[in-house]
Structure formats: structure tokens, C-alpha cells
Structure 1
């Protein structure tokens, strides 16, 4: 591969970034030559792994381009992915202080006009081969076996929390509370800021995560109004929420389009599949931070013309059928009255002192 684009298409990054990663993981994956055979070079170990994540091809298919046995490729991929996760562990980092959460909220307000937003939440099913003896444990509502990937994304299409491995049988938004982060968030063990005054308003409202209909609503977790009998004010609220939540849809979409692993069934154990999925998420954030202008361009993600209210859908939507099988819509849950008051107050704000000049065009 002599052309830069060929290299990038082969392993989803340029040669310079490959060399940076190689320097990080080499001490962890290097093997010594033996009397019987020479060790596979670390550069080849890394390129095999990145090629597997980029294509999702089987180890049997990869043996022809790598000239390495499928059994060896299987060991190499898992070992190298573990080394990548260890080397890139600072690239997915949940805020630990109120100020760090406020910084995320400022970004959401500046870029997506939703104040006091801590992140956008979504979950997807990742297809896996049915584990031996698992019965219906991993069998989801779409009639295939999967593990669930749950994530929180910031305003810049970066993952700040990823949880992978919950069995696909738990198909709806209730899976959020099965994650370590979800339990801590629901039990108020996460150091999020206290309610804060909204811009250009005297209203004080809690900081919130944003989700879709699959999730349960609480004082700190907002979801859209039901579609039945929506008033104009409620349509405006739903528009403002979906506009901010679009970052997680696009982050998943970019992840799936860049890493072919997600477009095929992973024929490994759930535990190994979890390692592979986490590695892709770390690489997504790593490349996004290191090459912000080229990894995700304006045409890659959904882009809105604020004058006309027209939405141009991101190019990733043309290359993959969807951003992954979504969580199942929940059985109707009666939200606490306090959560409904929070949503109604946000709704009033978005239709009055916090309204945007173009929002009526977007919902008309």
C-alpha cells in the first residue's frame, strides 16, 4: 500500500497514527523468536487486528492476506485489542467532578442549544453467534443473538461512557439500569451539578441526560413527549431534544460505518465480543481527538440548515442500513410527576425565553 488513502481504507487510519499506536502497544504484544519459528512482528500483529475490526471478515478470510493461520489470528486479535484498551484507557473517561460535567453541558448548549445537558444516551444490539448452551439468554426481540452496547456521548460525538456485554434478551431501555453507570446515576452516586439557572431565564432546572422513547423518564433523564396529540409547544420540545440527542445516533453511525465488525455477526464468545466492541469505541475516540477534521467531516453527520430548517442526513446513513439494531420501545412507564414537571418546564422555556429563531421552521 503506497497511497495514503489505501492505507487509511485498509485499517481506518493513516500511517502516522498507526505508528503512534504501534509505539503504545508494542511492549505489550511483542513476542520473542523461538528455535521452532520466528515471532510474528508487532507491526503485523497490529495491522491484522485493525484490519479485522475494519472489515469484520472471519479469521479464515484474513489468513490469505496475513499469511497467518486462523488460530494464530484469533489469539493475536484478542491480545492486541486488550493492549489497545489498556493503552487508550484515558480516551473514554467519565467526568468525576461537577466542573467536568458542567463543561460537557456548556458544549451541548453552545453547539446544540440544550442547556444543562450531561450527555445523550442510546443502546444498540451487537450481533453475536449463539453461545453454546445459552438457551434463549442472548436471543433478542429481533430474533437474533446479541449483546447490548450502552453509551453516553458528549456534544462532540465522543463516548464518555460505554458498557458492553449485557445479554440481548434484555432488549428495552431498562437495560440502562443494569449498567454500573446507570445504577450509580439512578441512585444519585454520580457527582452531577445541582439544578442551575437556564440562560436568559430565571428558571432553575436539573442537569439531565437525553434519551428516546426506549428509556424511562426521571428528574435527571429527559425523553420526548409521546407522539399522540402533540401540541406545537410539545413538538418544539421534541425537536430541541432530538436535535441534541442526534449526536449519539451519529456517533453510533460513524462507529458502524468505520468498523465493519458491527455490520456482521461476531462469531466469538460474548466475553471476546465485548473486548472487540470496546476496542472500536476507544479507537473511535482516539482518532476523533487526534484527527478531528478528517475522521468526522461535516458531510459524515446529520447537518441542519438553520435558515430553512432542512436536515441533510449524514453520509454514514447511506453506507450502513442503520446505526445498529436499536433498543426495543419500552412498555409504557408512568414517569414520576416531578419528572413531568421538569419536562414541562423545559418545554415552556424552549417556547419562550429560550426559543430559537428557526425552530418553528424545523417542526412545520
Structure 2
């Protein structure tokens, strides 16, 4: 009797297993393909191995417009990042090459294209791009920051910064131009109003100090948008900023705009000319910042830092050729009106120290004296 019961149980178990296997086979058949067939043709028809190579061999200007770098710079960057972003092929698929990873990332930074648009152009899945681009940005920042995004640390290095402003803007004792910008983001779930700024959109704040050569000296990014950003003459060193910043002994800002004397207007113009360098450095060379970045705020920070390091790298490698369209202009260039990259304002202070006010008055007197005046300042009043 026991043997019969055991046999029946075994038969029932086998029948159950057979039914389960049939159901699994049906589910497998109904599942979508692991990789869409047109994605598998990336090597033959994707943008990197076709369009990019055509541009590199036939139209260098279009290649630069596409990636914001010339082929030689692309190869230099590729050599630096390849040891870190190289991946091994598997039995199931070939890895995305370092060159393709770098090109996709540069294209994203240059244009701010959506992941879906890049997905169709390069024939790479959106989920892969969402991981690939931030990862490559981290590596770009990693390999460039020590040489190309290093803040001065010695007195001699800061003195060179000051001499640069004296030479280019005729502005003495200046250690940099300071400004801040809101970078639009899509807020993370359940964050409330943490990133919602006074201009009524979600953002993180980028604050940057720039030298007279349009290079970032120091970059701070990640503060949520709800926190508003705002000669032989003996003078202490300072940083120049606009009216959004408080007047401090180390931070020089213009006079309030109403009821200005001629001398004060001269000072404001000279200061504006010096700090316009930071405006031009913020110019939208990397247009990813003109769109809302649909990534985690921590990832957006990495993208910003990579872009700043890349800007300095191109400035160092290309010289003035990279600055075409970014050099000092008195007019209002079109990129200044682009709404997504908006100025960030710091909380205003009405308690400027007497030392700070005296320093500004002395500098105003210097700009209006024979020793400090320049011929072109009178034409701008």
C-alpha cells in the first residue's frame, strides 16, 4: 500500500513539473527580445562608426560642432580615459568601446540631447545611456581635475591671477570674478520644495570663480536652488562680483544703480568689464545646461564638474581658438538671454563694513584719476 501511494505521489509530481515547464516556455516566447535587432547593428550603422568617422575625415569643423572638440583633442582625451572606462566583451555581446562612450558623453554635454534621441542615433539602449554618461563624466573629471581644474594655492599663483586682471581689464588687486548660476533639474521623488528656487523652478546652484583667461579657478556645485545664490596703489586683494553679492572687504560689487555720480558710473563700468569675464566663461559652450537635466542631483553635480574641467582643458590646449565667440564684448550676446541657465542671487546684506566701503571709494577714485583712468571708459558712460 505504501509503495502505491509513493508511486502516485511521484506521478503527480512529474505531471506538475510538466505543466510548470510548459507555462515557462510560453512565458519565454511571449517575452520581448533581450536586444532589439536594430540595436545589434550598432557597429555597422551607428553614429559613432559612421557619421563621426565621416566628419573626422571629411569635415573637421562639423566634427568640432558635433563634439565640441577637434579630432586631436578627442584622441588625447580618449587615451586618458580608456584605461578606466574600457570594458571586456562577453559571449553574448560586444562591449561599448571607450571611443563610443566618450563621443556619446561629449555629444550629450555639447547639445543636451535627450537620452531617447541619443538612443536612436547611437543605437544604444536608454537604460545603458543613463549609466554610461554619468560614469564617463566622472572619469573625465577624474583625469582632468588635477591639472586643469586646480585652485591656486600659493601667493605667487594668486599674484599671477591678479596680474592677469590688471593686464586684460585694467583692474588692480583682483583675484577673480565670481558668479553663480541656477542649473535646472527634475527633482527627486519625495523631496518637497528642497530644490524649488525663488524663480519658480527646481535647480541646483553652481558658484564659480574665474580668472582673466576665462578659466575656472574654483567651482562649487550642489547647493539646492532653494538657497538663493545671489597699479602702485596699495589695496587689499579681492574678488569682483555683481550687485547680487554682499559688499565685503574681500568682495567688490558695484554701486546701487540709482542716482549715481559720474565717478560711480565709471567705477561700475570698470568693475562690470572685469566681471564680464565670468559671464563669458559661463557662455553656453556646453548646452546641456540649457535644458532640464532629468538625473539625480548628485549626478548633475558630476556633469557640471566634468564640463568645467573639460572647458579648462580645451582652453589650455587650444588657446584663443577655443574662445571664439566668448571673448570680452560690451554688447549683450544672445546666450546671455538663454533662460534655463539663470543667474543665482545671494542674500543681500545691508551691513557692509566701513573697511569695504572705504576700499570701494578708493578704487573709484583711482579709476577716475590720471593714474588709473583708461581712454575707453569715458565712451561708455
TM-score normalised over the length of structure 1: 0.86
2:241 aligned residue (208, 211, 214): 211
Mapped to 1, the partners of 2:307 and 2:103 lie a distance apart of 14
2:84 aligned residue (6, 25, 28): 28
Q: Which residue of 2 aligns with 1:178?
A: none
Deviation at 1:330, TM superposition (A): 3.9
Mapped to 2, the partners of 1:101 and 1:302 lie a distance apart of 22
Deviation at 1:130, TM superposition (A): 1.5
Q: Which residue of 2 aligns with 1:194?
A: none
1:346 aligned residue (348, 359, 363): 363
Mapped to 1, the partners of 2:194 and 2:350 lie a distance apart of 24
Q: Which residue of 1 aligns with 2:101?
A: 45
Tell me, what secondary structure is at the counterpart of 1:205? Answer: coil
Quick check: 1:167 aligned with 2:224? yes
Mapped to 1, the partners of 2:244 and 2:357 lie a distance apart of 16
Aligned 8 A contact 1:153 1:248 in 2: yes
Tell me, what secondary structure is at the counterpart of 2:179? Answer: strand
The farther-off stretch of 326-335 and 276-285 is 326-335
Aligned 8 A contact 1:300 1:316 in 2: no
Q: Which residue of 2 aligns with 1:327?
A: 344
Mapped to 1, the partners of 2:221 and 2:355 lie a distance apart of 31
Mapped to 1, the partners of 2:349 and 2:131 lie a distance apart of 45
2:373 aligned residue (322, 343, 355): 355
CA RMSD of aligned residues (A): 1.5
1:96-107 equivalence runs, <5 A = 96-107=153-164
Aligned 8 A contact 1:121 1:152 in 2: yes
- Unpaired stretches in structure 1, ≥5 consecutive residues: 174-198, 304-310
Mapped to 1, the partners of 2:332 and 2:316 lie a distance apart of 23
Deviation at 1:102, TM superposition (A): 0.5
Aligned 8 A contact 1:119 1:209 in 2: yes
Q: Which residue of 1 aligns with 2:268?
A: 238
Mapped to 1, the partners of 2:83 and 2:311 lie a distance apart of 22
Tell me, what secondary structure is at the counterpart of 1:226? Answer: coil
1:141-160 equivalence runs, <5 A = 141-160=198-217
The farther-off stretch of 353-362 and 89-98 is 353-362
Aligned 8 A contact 1:140 1:146 in 2: yes
Count of residue correspondences: 323
Deviation at 1:207, TM superposition (A): 0.4
1:178-217 equivalence runs, <5 A = 199=231, 201=232, 203-217=233-247
Deviation at 1:222, TM superposition (A): 0.4
Quick check: 1:133 aligned with 2:190? yes
Deviation at 1:300, TM superposition (A): 3.6
Tell me, what secondary structure is at the counterpart of 1:150? Answer: strand
Quick check: 1:60 aligned with 2:116? yes
Deviation at 1:329, TM superposition (A): 6.3
Aligned 8 A contact 1:118 1:154 in 2: yes
> Larger helix proportion, structure 1 or 2?
2
Aligned 8 A contact 2:240 2:252 in 1: yes
Aligned 8 A contact 2:68 2:110 in 1: yes
Q: Which residue of 2 aligns with 1:224?
A: 254
TM-score normalised over the length of structure 2: 0.82
Q: Which residue of 1 aligns with 2:15?
A: none
1:65-80 equivalence runs, <5 A = 65-80=121-136
Deviation at 1:315, TM superposition (A): 6.3
Q: Which residue of 2 aligns with 1:286?
A: 313
Aligned 8 A contact 2:291 2:340 in 1: no
Deviation at 1:277, TM superposition (A): 1.0
Mapped to 2, the partners of 1:146 and 1:62 lie a distance apart of 24
Deviation at 1:289, TM superposition (A): 1.1
Deviation at 1:328, TM superposition (A): 3.1
- Runs of 4+ deviating beyond 4 Å: 312-317
Distance 1:33 1:88, change over 3 A: same
Q: Which residue of 2 aligns with 1:302?
A: 328
Deviation at 1:314, TM superposition (A): 4.4
Aligned 8 A contact 1:300 1:315 in 2: no
Deviation at 1:357, TM superposition (A): 2.1
Aligned 8 A contact 2:185 2:204 in 1: yes
